[in-house]
Amino acid sequence: MNRSMIASVCALLILIVLACNAPSGSIGSVSGPSSASPESNVADPERPAPVQETGKSFTYTFDSDTAGQMPAKFHAGLTGQGAKGAWEVKGDFTAPSQPNVLAQTSADNTNYRFPLAIADEGSFRDLDLSVRFKPISGRVDQAAGLVWRLKDANNYYIVRANALENNVVLYKVQNGKRTDLPLKGEGRTYGKKTDVLSGQWSELRVVGTGELFEVFVNGQKLYEVEDDSFPEAGKVGLWTKADSVTHFDDLRVTAK
Ligand SMILES: [Ca+2]
C-alpha cells in the first residue's frame, strides 16, 4: 500500500468516525434519524427506574442544584422535531421556593417540538403529580406541561396549560403522535378553557388512578379523562412546546 492510498484510507476512516459520532455525540439521538420526523415512532429506550411504593414522595425544588445545568436526577428528551430543549437551573427572584427554578430557555419555534425534562428517580402508576409554572415567552406557544407514565420520549400522557390559548388539554403521545383525549362526560372538547396568565405562577396538577385522570389548575378541579393506553408505571417529567420559554418549580410526585 503506497503512501497516498494510506492517506486515502485514513481520510475515509476519519470521515466514517465523524459521521458516526455526529448524531449521537453532539445533538443526541433524540434529534437523530430515529426520531427526527413525526412519522418516526422509535425513541431511545429509557433507563428503567424502580416502581415506587404507595406513599413514596419526591419533591424537586431545584434550589440546591447548580445553576446553568440540568438538575441532578433529570435528563432531557425530545418528542418531534427541532432543537433539543435547553433545560437549566436558574435563579428567579419570584420562584415559589427560593432561589431556583428549572427553565426551558430554547426558543426554537419548530411547531411539532416538545422538549422534555424527565425525572429518573422512580416510576409511578397511580400518582399525585403537581408543579408550579410561569410562562415567560413564546409567539407560537406558551406552554407548561406535566408528563406521566412515560415509557420513552414518544409514549406518555401529558397535561399542559397554554397561556396563549388560555386552556388546559390532556393528551396521550403514542408512537410520537399527540392526540387530545375526550373529557369524561363532556366529549372531545380539546380540554377546557381557563385563564393561564403569562408571567405569573400557577399550579398544574394531575391525579391518576388506574384509567382515571383528574386535572386541577390552581387548586380547582377542571375535568376528568379516562384512558387505558398506558396502564403501566412510567416516569414523570416536565414538557414544553415549540418556542415556549417556561419556568417550573416545586415538582412533586407521590405514588398512590
Ligand atoms: Ca425552587
pLDDT along the chain (256 residues), means of 10: 57 49 39 44 91 98 98 98 97 98 98 98 98 98 98 98 98 98 98 98 98 98 98 98 98 98
What CA–CA distance (Å, rounded) separates 38 from 32? 12
Grid coordinates given for 132: 408550579
Calpha distance 231→109 (Å, rounded): 33
- As a whole number of angstroms, the distance between CA 242 and CA 230 comes to 25
Q: Which domains does the chain have, with CATH numbers?
A: 33-255 (2.60.120.560)
What is the model's pLDDT at position 29? 38
Q: How far is the CA of 78 from the centre of ligand 1 (A)?
A: 24
pLDDT given for residue 42 in this prediction: 86
Instruction: Give the predicted TM-score (pTM) of the model.
Output: 0.85
Question: How far does residue 93's CA lie from ligand 1's centre (Å)?
Answer: 10
What's the 200 CA to ligand 1 centre distance in angstroms? Answer: 15
Q: How far apart are CA 196 and CA 62, in angstroms?
A: 23
Distance in angstroms (rounded) separating the CA atoms of residues 24 and 30: 8
Ligand 1 centroid, distance to 62 Cα (angstroms): 5
CA of 87 to the centre of ligand 1 (A): 14
- Host H or E run for residue 5: helix 3-21
pLDDT at position 82 is: 96
Residue 4 has a pLDDT of 58
Compute, in angstroms, the gap from residue 92 CA to the centroid of ligand 1.
8
